[in-house]
Amino acid sequence: MAQQPVTADLLRLALEAYRDEYRDLSESWRNLDTKAQGLVAIAGIFLAAVFAWTRDLPTTFGTCERLLLVGSCLSLVAAVIAAIWALFIKMMSAPPLGEGTAHMVRDILRKSKKDLGARTEALYNDQITLWKKTNEEMRKHILVKARCIKFGQGALVLAAVLVSVLAVGTVF
């Protein structure tokens, strides 16, 4: 009989670890969304500036300069698309929240008290399974989101380098 509380305590510990992990993953998700929003804003402003510059292109611009300008525009558009892709709403399993958990607990309590320990352990195992699935899905989407942002940041840097080369070439 002494073993059931120990098992339940260990399962509760595992469940709490999954909840903490979900909290950390949610924070990472919010941080990545903030980065993606900033990337869209920066790349969008930069793109508008490049378009404004293209209206008054010097007549001395040759094919190489024009290719640099087109390359920077394409890089900026790629950055915007990557950042927006990172912001798309992803469908994921919801974590086992209050109402569902309360329903499971009420169901356990309605039954005989004699095998309460085993049913409690089963509840913890069910909860752990649900949290694990949610966290795995969230982790997968976070990785995709991070890759999109990384790609967008690289495209933004590339555009900045191309425009800088073009600007320095224009000055000299």
Write the pLDDT tens digit of every residue in 129-168.
999 999 999 999 999 999 999 999 999 999 999 999 998 8
Domain chopping of the chain, boundaries: 28-171
Q: What is the pLDDT of residue 4?
A: 53
Q: What is the pLDDT of residue 157?
A: 97
Q: Are 138 and 22 in contact (CB under 8 A)?
A: yes
Question: For residues 23 and 106, which has the higher predicted lDDT (pLDDT)?
Answer: 23
Candidate from 32-41, 73-82, 119-128 with smallest mean pLDDT? 119-128
Q: What is the pLDDT of residue 94?
A: 81
Q: Report the alpha-carbon distance of residue 61 to residue 27 in Å, rounded.
A: 47
Best CA proximity match to 72, nearest among 56, 88, 52, 89: 52
Q: What is the pLDDT of residue 43?
A: 96
Best CA proximity match to 84, nearest among 132, 136, 129, 151: 151
pTM: 0.82
Write the pLDDT tens digit of every residue in 59-73.
778 899 889 999 999
pLDDT at 172 over 80: no
Write the pLDDT tens digit of every residue in 76-108.
999 999 999 999 988 888 888 788 788 888 887
